[in-house]
Amino acid sequence: MIHILGARGTVGRLLCEAAKRLGIPYSAPQRPYDAVRYKAGGTAFLAFGRANQEECRKYPEETRAVNVAQTLECVVNAVLDGALPVIFSSPMVFRGLNGNYGVDDHTAPITEYGRQKKALEERCNPETVATVRIGPLVAPFSGNCAVEAMYRMLEKERPQLARDTCMNLTDGEELAEALLRNLQHPGILHVCSPYTYSHAELGFWVRAHSTKGATLAYTMCKLEELALPEPRPRLQNLVPSAGYSLGSPLPALLRKVKWLENR
């Protein structure tokens, strides 16, 4: 049995819709912070949390209560009831100096969100918990989607986009199906596309696939030239784990841009 906590969030919704497509039975509790129990065993995807990095910076105690403490409560419940808990983490646990991060590389976050994810990872036993690190996603609906965020930013202003960053961009639908089909064991996994992009390159692809063309303008710079309220890791790209190297995100990006312009 599949249990999806946080079904209203981006990752949770992707998992629910993938389960429907694949014909996999699942439950989606609406109140994940209660003492949700997993009497049927199975796999518990803990897809809830506070993923807005600026919110984490401004309200560290409140967001940590959700991203660490409440998630750990659900992890304990799942383990006690014989289910495999799956937590979601981020390349933000790395410092961002080298890139091409493997699952065993040293973690040294420089953002509050990254510190929260590192704290969660450290409190989870890799022999009983599956930790899935994912990068920016393309979602086919409105939500925490890198393509949508870029499109909205290009619409509103002429932003500066860093040309020296590096990230994996992943089709969220493909990711959800890969997890539902393949994830059966604990441990740390990197589930992502091996294709990498800078923020400037993502801006280029969004503009290239938009009917608005040149009206979606931007300038390029280095990450260090941006006036950010908190430093960000420059190189965030992960090395996909064996069996979890996903396809190109460009078809999903094209579909998402069309979806945004047809709304």
Write down the pLDDT at residue 179. 98
What is the pTM (predicted TM-score) of this model? Answer: 0.94
Q: Please report, in tens digits, the pLDDT of each residue of the chain (263 residues total).
A: 899 999 999 999 999 999 999 999 998 987 654 445 656 678 999 999 999 999 999 999 999 999 999 999 999 989 988 899 999 999 999 999 999 999 999 999 999 999 999 999 999 999 999 999 999 999 999 989 999 999 999 999 899 999 999 999 999 999 999 999 999 999 999 999 999 999 999 999 999 999 998 899 999 999 999 999 999 999 999 999 999 999 999 999 999 999 999 98
Write down the pLDDT at residue 263. 82
Domains of the chain, first to last: 2-261 (3.40.50.720)
Token duo for residue 254: 């094209």
Write down the pLDDT at residue 162. 98
Contact (Cβ atoms closer than 8 angstroms) between residue 229 and residue 54 = yes
Write down the pLDDT at residue 54. 96
Token duo for residue 229: 């309220």
Token duo for residue 53: 């990095």
Contact (Cβ atoms closer than 8 angstroms) between residue 74 and residue 114 = no
231: Cβ contacts below 8 Å, ≥ 6 apart: 110, 111
Token duo for residue 137: 């996603």
227 burial type by CB count under 10 A (0-12 exposed, 13-18 middle, 19+ buried): exposed
Half-sphere exposure for 3 (CA within 13 Å, toward CB): 27
β-pairing, 137-138 with 43-46?
unpaired
Q: Which candidate, 39, 56, 91, 48, places its Cα nearest to that of 72?
A: 48
Sign of the four-CA dihedral 255, 253, 44, 241: positive
Name the strand (E) or helix (H) holding 146. helix 146-156
- What is the DSSP secondary structure assignment for residue 33, as one 8-state letter? T
